[in-house]
Chain A
Amino acid sequence: MILNIFILILLVIAALWMVMTRSLLRSAIGLALVSLVLTIIMFRLSSPLAAVFELSVCAGLIPVLFISTISLTYPLSKQEMMEHFKARLRRFWYLPVLVVIVGVILSLLKIKPDITLPLPESAKDVRDVLWNLRPIYLIGQIIVLLAGAFGVVILFKDSKKDEH
């Protein structure tokens, strides 16, 4: 449990670093770091398949998407970046204090959730759940992917029209 708490503290520190850091690029890398720590927690909570997904997609693909977006948009000059950083620091320095206060208050509350636990599951394998018990999830995923593909196609179509 102590190791779990240590990893969770690392997770919050990684998220805080991502939020407070000056450059956008470092923020995107910070997102990968948060995903990486989350992957370790998932492995420890006996969810290896979800952890692999998290590692490959959330720590690999999404930061790449963000970094390519940052490179496609204009970069700030050093002076502009310093000005932005000072303005951001004025808005964001409350955040670590707020997070620590929320954490302390919640840990002082010592709520013991009285949860009525459901019956143990019949299927222990993720593949069995996805393909046999809840195939509707797969249909939903396919629909969402198609919707995303159409969305991207429409976005590119609009930008082509604007060029003409």
Chain B
Amino acid sequence: MLSEIAIIVIRGVAIGALFSIIAMSFNIVHNATRILNFAQGNIFILGGFAAYFLADNAGLPIWLAMLLLASLVIAVLVAAQGWLTLLPLRGNTSEQDSWMISTVSVSVIIAAILMLLYGPFAYSVSGPVPAFRIFGVKTPGAFILAIAAMLGWYLLLSWFLRRTFTGLAISALSQDFDAARAAGLSVRRLQLLAFGISGVIAGSAGFMVAPIISVSPDAGLRYVLNGFIAAVVGGIGNNTGALIGGPLVGVMAMLMAYKVGGAYQDLASLIVLVVILMFWPQGLFGRATARRV
């Protein structure tokens, strides 16, 4: 019994770590632009595909080199997506219609391309971290990698957003575009940078955890949804909230899978999302950015 609970918690936290990472990649773009990139899940899956084609069964040095390469390429792609998304907005990024349409269509485009190239199959990938045993149950090494990546990105982002000039400038954007512009920041460049960073976060995470996710063209939607739920639970824009929200959602999903079967996981996500939006629309931990008065 105890071991079962332990397994649920470990797996839940690890899966939740992925949601948390996606939530953080949402947050940096949202804070810089007010945009939520609906394609973030497919960008994450793109990382998984990169792992399959570049580093399946590879040794650690190759794996690391390919991780770096894949992250950079994905970062450039996402920055380009950001450029396209911001193109019709001209400074007023509160106009939701436009960016919702463009990010959703990019999401559909990525999935359609993957489907045309690789078919509707799930690819299995093996990573460099060996499996280990917890309470006698074999657990893939990527679980540890997922949790490490979540903590690593959290610390790195906290440092970046509070201690570097560029990071502070991005944080300033989350308060007020006009003030930031007036203070001489080049808003558009910072926003593209934020898109790029979100690409690195989601892409590298997808690459690292490829062994434990379903690397298939239709999996992206599920991750973007759960990432969004983690972001909403933690309060959109709030990375500390995401750090807690992700594992919370992950453990809940695992518990659900254990009690009523894995087939209902998406239904559980939907119900959690609807309930959260109805009762705690600002998230359980509130917003990180100051509310406008």
Q: Do A and B come together as binding partners?
A: no
